[in-house]
Structure 1
Amino acid sequence: MDVELEYDRLGGRLRAIGGATITYDRLGRRARTLGDWALEYDELGIRLRSIGDSELDYGRKSGLPATLGDLTLEYTGFSRQLTHVGPYEVGYDRFGSRVRTIGPLTLVYDRLGSRPRRAELPADYPFLPEDLLRVLFLVLYLRTQQEEEETPASG
């Protein structure tokens, strides 16, 4: 099964994962919903705090999410690269720059290789399970956050 990842034309923001539409705040900076789930942020509006009823708790030292609901997030040492979300292993290309797999999902990128266009599931998955939808969104969200931190501000 293929799960299409849709982006808006101008801003390049992720607009949908399969049938789950993603809406944004008035400024278009923060995702507010993923399908029927509300996305909640901390008081400053900086850190994602929940995806629907699955809360994100952050580690004290790293500032990275440590759990998503009952799923534990694991990272490599100094690179702070996400390696697991619960039972789902997160795999990268040989340079470690692009997420290639998330558990049973395989991400397929656009021609330039800059963003994933679809996620492929093995034949024994007739649909994208809710927990895997949350994990996929979180991984893409965290990669976007990391890319924004690495890109110097212009101006």
Structure 2
Amino acid sequence: MDIELTYRKGLLRDIGGVPVTYGKREWLDSTPRALGPWPLEYQRFSSTLRAVGSVAITYRRWSGRPVTVGQWSCEHGRFGGSLRRIGPYELRYDQFGSRVRAVGPLEIFYDRLGSRPIRLRLDGEGESLSDDLLLALFLVLFWQKQNQDAAAQARR
């Protein structure tokens, strides 16, 4: 099954029929505010995501590395490396380790420049993503985008 990711004005708007919504002033603040029916909650005065719906996210103290997502634990590479697993879903990266190529059974395809994911492939599954897989995918893409934005800001 192929699943499309839709963008408008440079922002991710839809993951396989599940809308990603933004605040009224999205041109000033490109931070997502909801994933489908789940509101996204952030730490006060920060872009640190604290909850998706009723699923709380905890981070390692003094860093942006997620430790838990609800009941799931998160595993990272050695020496504070990249996220390797979120709950039951193992992450696979490209050969340079910069882009996530798969979240569990979900394969991610990028645009020609390789900068943003545009399509997903899920072999042998139903007609839509399970809520768990959608949550894991969204978080992985969200954190990857934050890392890319931070790297771009540091280069300026």
With structure 2 as the length reference, what TM-score do the two structures score? Answer: 0.90
Q: How many residues align?
A: 153
Q: Distance in 1 between matches of 2:38 and 2:89?
A: 21
1:108 counterpart residue number: 109
Q: Distance in 2 between matches of 1:4 and 1:87?
A: 23
1:33 counterpart residue number: 34
Could you list the runs of 5+ residues in structure 2 that have no partner in the other structure?
none
Percent sequence identity is 45
Compared with structure 1, are the counterparts of its residues 27 and 64 closer, same or farther at alpha carbon in structure 2 (3 Å cutoff)? Answer: farther
Higher deviation after alignment, 16-25 or 53-62: 53-62
Does the CA-based 8 Å contact 2:4-2:118 persist in structure 1? yes
Could you list the runs of 5+ residues in structure 1 that have no partner in the other structure?
none
Q: Say if 2:6 is the partner of 1:3.
A: no
Deviation at 1:116, TM superposition (A): 1.0
Q: Distance in 2 between matches of 1:124 and 1:30?
A: 30
Compared with structure 1, are the counterparts of its residues 145 and 58 closer, same or farther at alpha carbon in structure 2 (3 Å cutoff)? Answer: same
Q: Distance in 2 between matches of 1:27 and 1:3?
A: 28
More helix by share: 2
Runs of 4+ in 1 over 6 A off after TM superposition: none
Q: Distance in 2 between matches of 1:51 and 1:152?
A: 26
2:151 counterpart residue number: 150
Q: Say if 2:119 is the partner of 1:97.
A: no
1:42-81 matched pairs, under 5 angstroms: 42-78=43-79, 80-81=81-82
- Root-mean-square deviation over aligned CA pairs: 1.7
